Chains A and B, each alone.
Chain A
Amino acid sequence: MTASTTDQPLKKEQGAAQQPDSVLLHPTHEDHHIARMAAVALGLTVLENAIPSPLPGVKPGLANIVTLIVLSRYGWRIAAWVSLLRVVAGSLLFGSFLTPGFFLGLAGALCSLVILALAQHLPARWFGAVSHSILAAFAHIAGQMGVVYVWLIPHSGIAYLIPIFATAALIFGTVNGLIAARFMDNHDSPSTNHPAITDESH
């Protein structure tokens, strides 16, 4: 399932020789790390499901904060693992695995990841977590609406809902991006950035 088995081919062969009937997976440090991150994201998903939503599909997407932080700290590959693990494990947790809702979430997550793969190459000097978050949020609703249109409701009437979802994407995308940026803010605090920004504007 993961790259871990190829990391330690020698150990695996030994294990296979001793116990031919069992397959031993040796999770690497990275696997543990991914699992921990996915667990945090999962926690946020559970939290978020407790929040009532005015319209199905309008959710803050708090778990994406974790994806954004992982993307900026550990790269896209790990972020993809965390995001997809969260989608699958979350659906198992809520009993929605392989339901339409699961596929909507999966489509949204995949679209977000594709956009993030491109967005991570934006110059970091100008674009931060907020940009990544907004782009990912819009990609998410685009993916969802695509699946809804192709599979669930093939009727142009769903276009009527797009402004609602787009507004939610803008708001929640910005807020999640800000939270992610706040978490990643270690030493280059905003107070040192601030004078530079105000200097430019004057």
Chain B
Amino acid sequence: MIAGYIKPGDWLLISLAALAVVALTMTLWRGEVAEQAVIRSAGKIIHTVPLAVDQEIAVAGPLGTSIITIAKRRARISSDPSPRQYCVRQGWLQQAGEIALCLPNQVSVELTGKHKKYDSLNY
């Protein structure tokens, strides 16, 4: 009964519009594959390491040592002296653009792709 109100051209247009929506979503929401981890201490980049290599990196900060673990193309802060442990509890970072910050210890890990997409998103 509903179909009776849709003319053949309407079906064509609905299909085209649906295709356009899918295409838009795929191009605009494609999460870029993370290639490397950028590790900062006190705002300065101290290491840029590829995610392909599993390793643990110790970074010294004002409160003590933060330990960054890279495994299976993911990265996380596995140990940190900051009181609230936000960055540790954030867990594994996988996609380009994800970032974990330990503000008290001034250490951060950011995953980047081949090229950087957004600095920040505001809404």
Contacts and interface: CB of A to CB of B under 8 A. Distances in A.
A134 B121 CA distance: 29
Interface centre among B3, B5, B28 (most CB of A within 10 A): B5
Contacts of A128: 5-7, 9-10
B8 interface: yes
A162 interface: yes
Interface stretch (B12-20, B79-87, B102-110): B12-20
B21 interface: yes
A166 B20 contact: yes
B4 interface: yes
Interface residues of B, number: 25
A131 B13 contact: yes
A174 interface: yes
B5 A159 contact: no
B7 A167 contact: no
Interface residues of A, number: 38
Contact of A127 (B1, B5, B10, B118): B10
Contacts of B5: 128-130, 178, 181-182, 185, 190
Contacts of A162: 24, 28
B28 A190 contact: no
Interface of B: 1-10, 13-14, 17-18, 20-21, 24-25, 28-29, 118, 120-123
Chain B at the A interface: SS class: helix
B21 A170 contact: yes
Interface centre among B13, B118, B123 (most CB of A within 10 A): B13
Interface in A143-164: 153, 155-157, 159-163
Nearest to B4: A190
A157 B9 CA distance: 35
18 contacts: A123-B9, A126-B7, A126-B8, A128-B9, A130-B13, A131-B9, A131-B13, A134-B14, A153-B122, A155-B122, A157-B120, A160-B28, A160-B29, A166-B24, A181-B6, A182-B5, A190-B5, A197-B4
A125 B21 contact: no
